[in-house]
A and B are shown apart, each in its own frame.
Chain A
Amino acid sequence: MTLEKITSELFEKLVELAQFSLDPAESEYLRSELNHQLAAVKELSEIPIDVAVAPTTHGLEVEGAASRADEWKLYPNPDSIIALAPESEEGMIAVPDVAANRKTAQ
């Protein structure tokens, strides 16, 4: 089975989905490393896997605490979380005023 490599077009699509904007040198390095990594994992597609093997998402099955009750709780200090946002208004995280920024750009 041939696994497709990352073409320039596919790479641009991935970059768009990942919400990046990259300069040409960065793009070239990243695309090259992606293709190297995909070559490195090619082996995975060739390993004989018994149909009885079930996938595992955690290795060991965790005997964790029972799920918490689905109850609303007041966070003791919400201001400390809001304060982390680059911009906030009246106790809420503010999405930037796009029109104002466009003006700045001009």
Chain B
Amino acid sequence: MNYTDLSAFEISQKVRSGEIKAVEMVEAALAQIAAVDGVQGQLDYKGQDPAQDDKVHAFISLTSDLARSQAAEVDRKVAEGDDPGLLAGVPLSVKDIFCVEHTHTTAASRMLANFEPPYTATAVNRLTQAGALLVGKTNLDEFTYGSSSESSAFQPCPYNPWNPKYAAGGSSGGSAAAVAARETPLSLGTDTGGSIRQPSAFCGVVGLKPTYSRVSRYGLIAFASSFDCPGPITRDVRDAALMLQAIAGSDPQDSTSSTVAPSDYRSALEQDVRGLRIGLSPDYGHISYPDTETGEISYQAIQREVSQAVFNAAEALARAGAEIIENVPMPNSRFGIPAYFVISRVEAASNLHRFDGVKYGFRTTHPFNDLSELYRLSRAEGFGVQPKLRILMGMYVSAAQHAANYYQRALKVRAMIRKDLTDAFNPKGAYRLDALLTPTTPTTAFKRNDVFGNTVLMQYSDQMTVCANHAGMPAITIPGGLDQAGLPIGIQFIANDFREDLLFRAGRAFETATASAAWRAIKPIVLSNQQVIS
């Protein structure tokens, strides 16, 4: 039995029954990390060792001792007949944007390189209380600001396990790569404009953005507070359901967490898709892209293999008994990125003003003449380029003389985007959808360094994901095939508020319908490299 091929569900069953010990699972995960991950992300990395070129670099730090002590506790519970929890003995990684007491929590920024928070995020606490074993913190774009993980101050950044010359996506790139490379079966990410789903699609894994407010944000270092959603990254839909079950629910520490009771997501997995109405929208068949000098918009069809995978999925679901509804209009979806450019930057700028070199985090080591210079030097040296850009953009578009044209309009466009979706899901409306099926990304993974630096093009890679964030609705990406270059394709389902159960039903039905597809037998190249070496 290869422990790292087991799903979280299988591990929890075997640990519970005593067939496997949790301490063995920790060692298996750490051995896999040692085999495939290479050097972990670090500040001022100058390494040029070619042996690192085909490694994954998913992690910034490992928490091996913590995982071992958590494993011993799970094994003790099993031995004494106590309930070891829903995720007993399952190795877990966590995006390094979640506070975990007594660990470094860096947000992939020099600003927080030495930050050890005095408390632990609610979502992380709930996972470890359910028996999951925290083995490490994964790399990401600095403060989550990007879609490739390349902007991390901790290099090397994560590489795509399917082809390390390609980006893992972002901002939860380390989490998606860690799950794809069998380092941990579960990873906790965050999704603000697509940061769980885009890297999950690029790395061929399952990623869920829950309904806004479904999972507590307590202990999450904030990007855009009205969008941020913690959520699961896993290898299959069942594990995503298990993980959401563990983390969903209200939290007195987060007054924006919903008091709506979570569904029984596990039982949703047992239901098929007969009678479900699944929509397709022509507005998700192309992307619009602005000329960066004139703002003129041009349209481009999405990658053919990606749109083909969506149609194949629709056919598979139709064969499984779902009703496919074509031509569902989403006329405002193309405004998703422009509106996000404005709202998310305003919120990011607001959240980053707290870093000043005085209260916590980085302080300049250079001499300064007054307090203002201390602020300026600390912020100039502590922040990388992307946080600076977001702060400047956020300040400009929310300035009193511009807010009516930008911020206030963007908030209205956000309402229009949500209305497209609520109309489609309205049980008395023309479409009465249970879920909308779309591509997750316009293309499969791009090469590292091809897009990085062009912040407009990078942001447009979230065009298919961002509308669910505007609307606050849940969305899931699921592997839907491989393109000609052997890179994974993601398909996305979006559902109405708090209907994650429908996403799991549709996703599970698709997995079952394609269980014997040839592409499912193909594994990421870093795993075959490993077999060649051993």
Contact = CB atoms under 8 A, between A and B. Distances in A.
Given A18-B391, A65-B250, A85-B359, A56 B367 contact: no
A49 B412 contact: yes
Interface residues of A, number: 60
Contacts of B295: 39-40, 42-43
A101 B368 contact: yes
Nearest to A96: B374
A37 B456 contact: yes
Given A43-B290, A60-B213, A84-B360, A105 B341 contact: no
B116 to A, nearest CB: 8
A84 B115 contact: yes
Contact of B256 (A3, A20, A21, A62): A62
A43 B298 CA distance: 12
Interface in B340-397: 341-342, 349, 356-361, 363, 367-372, 374-377, 379-380, 383, 385, 388-389, 391-393, 395-397
B394 to A, nearest CB: 9
Contacts of B339: 44
B164 interface: no
Nearest to B250: A65
Given A19-B372, A86-B357, A93-B359, A58 B389 contact: no
Nearest to B347: A57
A53 B418 CA distance: 11
Nearest to A86: B363
A60 to B, nearest CB: 4
A22 B388 contact: yes
A59 B473 contact: yes
Contacts of A64: 213, 250, 255-259
B388 A30 contact: yes
Interface stretch (B18-26, B140-148, B401-409): B401-409
A59 B339 CA distance: 13
Nearest to B117: A84
Contact of A77 (B118, B374, B377): B118
Given A17-B395, A43-B297, A60-B213, 13 more contacts: A22-B388, A33-B389, A37-B389, A37-B455, A37-B456, A39-B292, A43-B295, A44-B405, A58-B212, A68-B255, A87-B363, A98-B370, A102-B367
Interface of A: 1, 3, 6, 11, 14-15, 17-22, 26, 29-30, 33-45, 47, 49, 53-60, 62-65, 67-68, 77, 80-81, 83-87, 93, 95-96, 98, 101-102, 104-105
Q: Which 7 A-B pairs have the closest CB atoms?
A: A59-B472, A55-B411, A105-B367, A42-B295, A80-B118, A36-B292, A84-B360
